[in-house]
Amino acid sequence: MTWAEQLLEDEGEREQAAREFTLRAIRRGADPINHWIVRTAYTESSVTLEELEGDLGITRATLSERVNDLVQVGLLERSVEGDAVQPTVLTAGFLGVVDDVTDRFAERIADGLDDGG
């Protein structure tokens, strides 16, 4: 039985695999530079490595390594033609979670400051 067939048959295995995959995506996307790359690709719909390189000021090799990591966890797709990256279905969900947590945390900070604590 293949891994994919096992995931289809076993709900526990499927949930564990989905959780591990999600945590890997969050770990990779949580890095501030990687997050900026993902958000830029999402906002622009497609962005070239050359454009990202100019904005970030990091070497092409470092940028390419970061993009490859983000592709590997499903947060970006990379096209060979034009060396561009695009968001995936997972990108919007990931950014939505980050934005939701950020908003909730900012509200808690504001509530705490309003209470004098």
Rounded CA-CA distance 105/38 in Å is 21
Rounded CA-CA distance 100/94 in Å is 10
Residue 116: the pLDDT is 55
Q: Which domains does the chain have, with CATH numbers?
A: 3-114 (1.10.10.10)
pLDDT tens readout for residues 79-100: 877 689 999 989 999 999 999 9
pLDDT tens readout for residues 35-71: 999 999 999 999 999 999 988 989 999 999 999 999 9
| Residue-wise burial string across 71-98, b where 16 or more C-beta atoms lie within 10 A, e elsewhere | eebbbbbeeeeeebbebbebbeebbeeb
pTM above 0.85, yes or no: no
Q: Does residue 114 surpass a pLDDT of 70?
A: no
Confidence of residue 12 (pLDDT cuts 50, 70, 90): confident
